Structures are given as structure tokens and as C-alpha cells.
Amino acid sequence: MARTRATDYDDKRNAILERSATLFAEKGVDRASMSEIARECGVSKALLYHYYDSKDALLFDVIYAHLQHLDDAIAEVDDPDAAPEDRLRALVHQILGVYRDADDQHKVQLAGVPVLPPEMADEIRAIERSIVGRFSRVLFQINPQLNDERPLLTPVTMSFLGMLNWVYLWFRPGGPITREEYADLATDLILEGVKAVR
């Protein structure tokens, strides 16, 4: 007879993911052990293994849950019928909004994907490609000449996402600019720059 799932299974799993992300971000993916993760989560090691049979599975889920949430969130505001400039602005505001409370998950994504088994890493990269593709398509709408003589769309897209992805390193609440103001600033910088690229 199959074991039934506890009613609070998802809540416990989400708490494990959140606390694991913090530990992975603070200690490093390679140095955080399942024993430490169980202790940090306030559960027994046996219970942790009930949810995740390996550290790789847990690491994968931390990254996958973060990226899936990000992909869903930007899909929610992406309006293909909007003017490309407005569409880009909405995407940037949304991605920086999701990043607001996800510094640990973001650090784990950057450090963790290279150490995952290939099949897990491939699944993560598929979501990353979905996110990159959404931005790439909008940037191409803004300047269809980006790939005319040289393939510049990918370098432009990745440069722009680099601006957004590394915000956690320097942005501090209460600093000289709000997150929303930075979203507009980054969008303005890329809009003017993309239009100028030939």
C-alpha cells in the first residue's frame, strides 16, 4: 500500500528549500553537508532524506524552484502585444522584483549548476534558456539589426542579463536608488544602447 503524503508536506519541503538555500549560500555548495542542512532545518537527517535522497537532489530543487518561479513570474507580465520598450520594462521590473528576496537562491544557482550531474544541469539550463529567450526576443524587436552583419543579439542579451543578475552584489535597500528606480535605469541604459548597436 502506497504511503500517503502528510498534509503539511509541501510546507515542510518549502521550508527545507529556503533554509538549505541560505546554508548553501553561506557555506558553499560543496561544504554544506546533509547533517548540517538537517540541523539548520530543525529536522532529523532521516526526515531530510525522506524529502531528498541526496544533496544533489536537494541542490537541484533549490535552483529549479527558484528558476521556475522566476520564469513563471516574467511570463505573467510578458505581453507580446505591448510596445517592445514597454514589454522590456515590465520584464525588468518583474525579474528584479523576484530577486528582491532571493539573494541566497540566486547565489546557489550561480555556484550550484556547474556541480550538478549533467542530466540535472541540463534541466536547469533549459529553464535558463527560456528566460534568456524571452529577453532576447524583445531586444530583437527593439533592434532587428542586431544580427544583420554580425551575431550580436546573444552578446547584447547576456550583457543585459548580467546587469540584472549581479545586482545582489552591490544593491542595498536604503541606498541612493530604489530597486524600482534601478529597474528603470537599467531598462533606459539598454534601450538607448541597443538602439545604437549596428
Give DSSP secondary structure letters for 77-124. H--TTS-HHHHHHHHHHHHHHHHTT-HHHHHHHHHHGGGS-HHHHHHH
Report pLDDT digits (tens) over 88-124.
Answer: 999 999 999 999 989 999 899 999 999 999 999 999 9
The mean pLDDT of 132-139, rounded to a whole number, is 95
| Overall number of domains in the chain | 1
38 located within any domain: no
33 located within any domain: no
Contact 60, 124 (CB under 8 A): yes
Query: Which pLDDT does position 191 carry in this prediction?
Result: 86
The CA-based diameter of the chain, rounded to the nearest angstrom, is 65
Query: Which pLDDT does position 1 carry in this prediction?
Result: 45
Question: Would you give the DSSP letter of residue 4?
Answer: P
Interatomic CA distance for residues 189 and 106, integer angstroms: 23
Query: Which pLDDT does position 3 carry in this prediction?
Result: 52
Domain around 174: 55-196
Interatomic CA distance for residues 136 and 155, integer angstroms: 10
143 located within any domain: yes
Interatomic CA distance for residues 86 and 165, integer angstroms: 20
Interatomic CA distance for residues 20 and 9, integer angstroms: 16
User: Which grid coordinates are listed for 29?
Assistant: 555548495
155 located within any domain: yes
Residue 198 has pLDDT above 80, yes or no: no
69 located within any domain: yes
Interatomic CA distance for residues 140 and 132, integer angstroms: 12
CATH number of the domain that residue 123 is part of: 1.10.357.10
Report pLDDT digits (tens) over 163-192.
Answer: 998 888 888 889 999 999 999 999 998 888
User: Which grid coordinates are listed for 9?
Assistant: 508536506
32 located within any domain: no
Q: How many CB atoms lie within 10 A of CB 9?
A: 12
Q: What share of the chain is helix, strand, coil (3-state, %, to 5)?
A: 75, 0, 25
* Phi, then psi, of 123 in degrees rounded to 5: -65, -40
Query: Which pLDDT does position 5 carry in this prediction?
Result: 57
43 located within any domain: no
Interatomic CA distance for residues 156 and 160, integer angstroms: 6
Amino acid residing at 33: S
Selected residue with higher pLDDT from 191 and 9:
191
162 located within any domain: yes
